[in-house]
Amino acid sequence: MKRRAASLALAASSLLAACGENKPEAPAPAPAPVQTGEAAPAIDHVAPMDYAQAGAWLCRPELDDACEQVATATSVAADGRLTRDGFAPMPDPAIDCFYIYPTVSRDEAGNADTQPGPEEREIARQQIARFGSVCRIYAPMYRQVTLAALRKMLAGEDPASNREMAYADVKAAWERYLVNDNQGRGVVLIGHDQGAGLLTRLIAAEIEGKPAEDKLVSAVLPGGGVEVSSTGSVGGSFRNIPLCRSADSTKCAIAWSSFRASEPPQAEALFGKAQTDGMRVACVNPAELDGSAGALKPMLPVGAVLLEELAQPAPWAAGDVAIETPFVTLPGLLSAQCVDRGGFSYLAVTVNADPADARTDTINGDVVVDGKVQPHWGLHLIDMHLAMGNLVEIVRHQGEAWVKGQAGAATLPPEFHKPQ
């Protein structure tokens, strides 16, 4: 694989270090030189984006935008049979989702610009579009720390980025949403990687213990290093918001970091180990929370996992199988359990390979450098993809529970009833 692709994958997995989350360092190859773009201003205070403008949002319910892209999937059965789903967003769901995307910007400056590129649009399709069946989606653009800045950090150079700029934007978008769009509805906060880190900070500073907490259905924060007390599910990143214990739990958090069960995290692993004494990294298994007994319901991209520079996946099934949808599902192929071992807490993912199964015996999602898998990254790139089906069902149930819990809500609104 080209050096640029390797450094891009490394940068995508290192975003938390850029957002103030402390992560252990791991050996990495020297990143490729990058072209110098206009550096972000080195200032302590910066005006946030104007979220009264429709163009400041990647997704909003009233716009024909990134979350309206085709997000259908083909189910590949064990015998190789293909079944195409008929996914379409729900016209008027009863709750909202507020989504912050991970580090994907290819802008050359230290902070991203305010214009959505193909990378932001594609990650929205991969990580949030399917939630359109259970919630209205609000996804702001924000001036995130870019991949170029992260490559410079890895090279020991000044990234010329302003970390507070990204948070200021997310905070301003949240405040605009609360005042102008929420209208008393429940909301699920969803973010991965840099997005999870920013939302963790937002929850701790602006939601927990404040009136907005009453609107919190749940927070889905994979790959973000959420910490909890080693003796319980609270304390750490949040003072009182616990980890979710069932699909009916509300005002709670769901977080995990994924590794292959056959390749558990070693000492140099970047995810799964708390950086605070007396804490552990949260692991909530979506495949247990939704009652699936550990069976993951993945939605994997037919092409590259996140960026086209990354390796293409192996054929999904034996023979000349043509997948015409952007995603595949693989019922029964993957399972997971949370594991606490060697100071790490992580979601151990097993590929249930079977010689009699016509499907692939492996999945893509690892960081690969010069043709060699880098196990210290785990399956970070596909944390959300692995459990997409589980997560959508969990959010559906949590939304039902939140609506039921509201004063005067005698019955569920009809839009919660799944079509037969």
How far, in Å, CA of 46 to CA of 65, rounded?
Answer: 27
pTM for this prediction? 0.87
Q: What is the pLDDT of residues 108-154, one digit of tens each?
A: 999 999 999 999 999 999 999 999 999 999 999 999 988 888 778 86
User: For 180, which DSSP code?
Assistant: I
Average pLDDT for residues 46-67, to the nearest whole number? 94
pLDDT tier for residue 33 given thresholds of 50, 70 and 90: very low
Residue 86: burial class (beta carbons within 10 Å; 0-12, 13-18, 19+): exposed
Which pLDDT belongs to residue 319?
76
What's the confidence (pLDDT) of residue 309? 54
CA angle at residue 185 from 179 to 187, to 5 degrees?
90
- 13 or 265, which is more confident: 265
Q: Tokens representing 46?
A: 């910066």
Percent of residues, the chain, with pLDDT higher than 90: 67
> What DSSP line would sit under 282-331, residue for residue?
----HHHHTTSTTB----EESS-SSSTTSPPPPPSBSSSPPP-SSEEE-T
Query: Which one, of 180, 313, 225, lies nearest residue 20 by Cα?
Result: 225
C-alpha–C-alpha distance, residues 114 and 248, integer Å: 37
Task: Tell me the C-alpha distance between 139 and 91, whole Å.
Answer: 17
Q: What 8-state DSSP symbol labels residue 229?
A: E
Q: What gap in Å lies between CA 93 and CA 97, rounded to an integer?
A: 10
Helix (H) or strand (E) holding 137: strand 135-140
Banded model confidence at residue 12, pLDDT cuts 50, 70, 90: very low
Say which residue the tokens 């994979």 belong to.
222
Structure tokens at 12: 């995508």
Q: How far apart are CA 149 and CA 147, in angstroms?
A: 5
Determine contact, residues 61/136, Cβ cutoff 8 Å.
Answer: yes
Helices (H) and strands (E) in the chain, counts: 8, 17
- Percent composition of the chain: helix, strand, coil (DSSP 3-state, to 5): 30, 20, 55
Arithmetic mean of pLDDT, 35-59? 70
As a whole number of angstroms, the distance between CA 351 and CA 262 comes to: 9
Residues 66-82, mean pLDDT to the nearest whole number: 94
Over residues 261-288, the mean pLDDT reads: 95
Contact 379, 310 (CB under 8 A): no
- Torsion sign across C-alpha atoms 331, 245, 261, 281: positive
Q: What are phi and psi of 243, to 5 degrees?
A: -75, 145
pLDDT at 408 over 70: no
Q: State CA 28 to chain mean position distance.
A: 24
According to the model, what pLDDT value does residue 308 have?
Answer: 54
- Phi first, then psi, for residue 178 (nearest 5°) are -60, -45
- Mean pLDDT, residues 394-406 taken together: 95
Residue the block writes with tokens 């151990």: 348
Rounded mean pLDDT, 62-88: 93
- The residues spanned by each domain of the chain are 3-22+56-405
* Cα separation, 398 vs 407, whole angstroms: 16
> In the structure, what pLDDT confidence band is assigned to residue 371 with cuts at 50, 70 and 90?
confident
